[in-house]
Structure 1
Amino acid sequence: MKFSAPLVSGRLVKRYKRFLADVLLDDNGGAITAHCANPGSMLGLKEPGSRVWLSASDNPKRKLKYSWEVIEADGALVGINTAHPNKLVEEALEAGRIAGLTGYQTLRREVKYGKNSRIDILLEGADGAKTYVEVKNVHLMRKAGLAEFPDSVTARGAKHLVELGDMVAEGHRAAMVFLVQRPDCSRMSLADDIDPAYAAAFAEARRAGVEAFAIGCDVRLDGIDAVKPVEIIA
């Protein structure tokens, strides 16, 4: 995934009200408020003074011109925009980068299923077999090299796991794909101290036959690509 235009750099002043971030732009650009497309706690990724990069929109109807895309944390570039994971995983699937999820004929996004839900990605084979794929963004790292999910309580995430299990019970294949938007992690586990209910739902989903994959990202200032397998140790 390439950014449509060069990113704008600055220093984070504060992130607040979940979806807002004040940033002091470099090159005497002054202080601005950017959209933060991330509903999580962003634990470890919101320190004031951190170097950040923003995308700029030329849409005059947008209330906020800038969107927060990348932060420098722990010596690495980390993608924080949770609007991108589905596209990044779609690109990885189409390129055959997720072993075990290859050979499908069609890929569709946001398809209705379950109890008034939409699956992130629906893969369909030539024989009509379906694989339901739910995507979760991961960017928490509390121990060097180990990514963790989630960074805050996610009842919605637990609901998705139950619905994936329901698809397996109906005779389909279902999979969780964790997209690790930081290049400094080679392993991933569940943050059961942050959300024990999600960890329990994940364990139950695995017992029900839901598969799990994790893929790490190459995060650059011109774009982000999901390129490398990450070991799940949960």
Structure 2
Amino acid sequence: MKLPPLVPGTLIRRYKRFLADVTLDTGETITAHCANPGAMLGLNEPGNRVWLSKSDNPKRKLAYSWELVEVNGTLVGINTSMPNKLAEEAIEAGRIAELTGYASLRREVKYGQNSRIDILLEDDQKPLTYVEVKNVHLMRQPGLAEFPDSVTARGAKHLVELGDMAEQGHRAVMLYLVQYPGTQRFTLADDIDPKYAAALDIAKGRGVETLCYGCDISPEAITLSYQLDIDI
């Protein structure tokens, strides 16, 4: 996925979850929108190099959005609105082998209890396939990606609803998309949210599949490109 032209800067602070003060390379200090509800452990340190997109919509309160952060020389994607688009692009390009061969793909389809599935795959010769996508950007040990980075009751609810779909005879897939290049393995951060870990264990017992894919990232593009081993 191509990114819009990005503006580099230095992080001053991230606060109120969705706000970040940044000093641009031009010397100007601005407040950017941070589309990430998580704790962003290890990513929101003052002084980190960041890359922002800028909207030309005059009605937006904040023109800039935080997209990438550099950690130890690695660019990490922190925008949690990106993974659904990345997954859609990868599925349509055939880069996720387990999710190929469907006639159609739809986004944000209503299902469950007042929820929307991230991706619904449909084909007359296959069961309906419900795909929930989660952004992963936590790495506390070299090469090991973890989810979640904060408590997510909403994420646990999604696992229950995926389990419901599996028990109804559909296919249900939990896709973890890692926007932290250089990772080889994925696991759950059960010390951060043990209830989510328990919910996934139950969901797997009900027939929910788990997949994990990583990305290559540059200031110009983010591309889903390789599969990670899952240690759960």
Tell me if TM exceeds 0.5. yes
- 1:1-234 correspondence to structure 2 within 5 Å: 1-4=1-4, 6-28=5-27, 30-127=28-125, 129-234=127-232
Aligned partners of 1:106 and 1:173: how far apart in 2?
A: 15
Aligned partners of 1:41 and 1:229: how far apart in 2?
A: 25
Q: Residue 163 of structure 1: SS of its match in structure 2?
A: helix
Aligned partners of 2:209 and 2:96: how far apart in 1?
A: 12
Aligned partners of 1:139 and 1:150: how far apart in 2?
A: 9
Structure 2-normalised TM-score?
0.98
Whether the 8 Å CA contact 2:186–2:231 is kept in 1: the answer is yes
Aligned partners of 1:191 and 1:75: how far apart in 2?
A: 24
Show CA shifts across 1:170-200 (max 9, x none): 1100000000001111111000000000000
Aligned partners of 1:126 and 1:136: how far apart in 2?
A: 27
Whether the 8 Å CA contact 2:127–2:169 is kept in 1: the answer is no
Q: CA deviation at 1:129?
A: 2.2
Q: Residue 203 of structure 1: SS of its match in structure 2?
A: helix
Aligned partners of 1:125 and 1:200: how far apart in 2?
A: 32
Task: Give the direction of change, closer, same or farther, for the CA distance of 1:81–1:129 in structure 2 (3 Å limit).
Answer: same
List gaps (5 residues or longer) in structure 1: none
Structure 1-normalised TM-score?
0.97
Show CA shifts across 1:104-157 (max 9, x none): 110000001111111000001133620000000000000000000000000000
Q: Which amino acid aligns with 1:102?
A: T
Q: Residue 119 of structure 2: SS of its match in structure 1?
A: strand
Q: Which amino acid aligns with 2:114?
A: N
Q: Residue 100 of structure 1: SS of its match in structure 2?
A: helix
Give the length in aligned residue pairs.
Answer: 232
Aligned partners of 2:101 and 2:72: how far apart in 1?
A: 37
Q: Which amino acid aligns with 2:67?
A: E
Q: Residue 14 of structure 2: SS of its match in structure 1?
A: strand
Q: Which amino acid aligns with 2:7?
A: V
Aligned partners of 2:132 and 2:90: how far apart in 1?
A: 14
Q: Which portions of structure 1, spanning 4 or more consecutive aligned residues, are displaced by more than 2 angstroms?
A: 126-129
Aligned partners of 1:113 and 1:55: how far apart in 2?
A: 32
**Matched-pair identity in %:** 68
Q: Which amino acid aligns with 2:35?
A: A
Whether the 8 Å CA contact 2:6–2:52 is kept in 1: the answer is yes
Show CA shifts across 1:85-113 (max 9, x none): 10000011111111211111100000011
List gaps (5 residues or longer) in structure 2: none
Aligned partners of 1:188 and 1:129: how far apart in 2?
A: 27
RMSD, matched Cα: 0.8
Q: Which amino acid aligns with 2:2?
A: K
Q: Which amino acid aligns with 1:137?
A: N
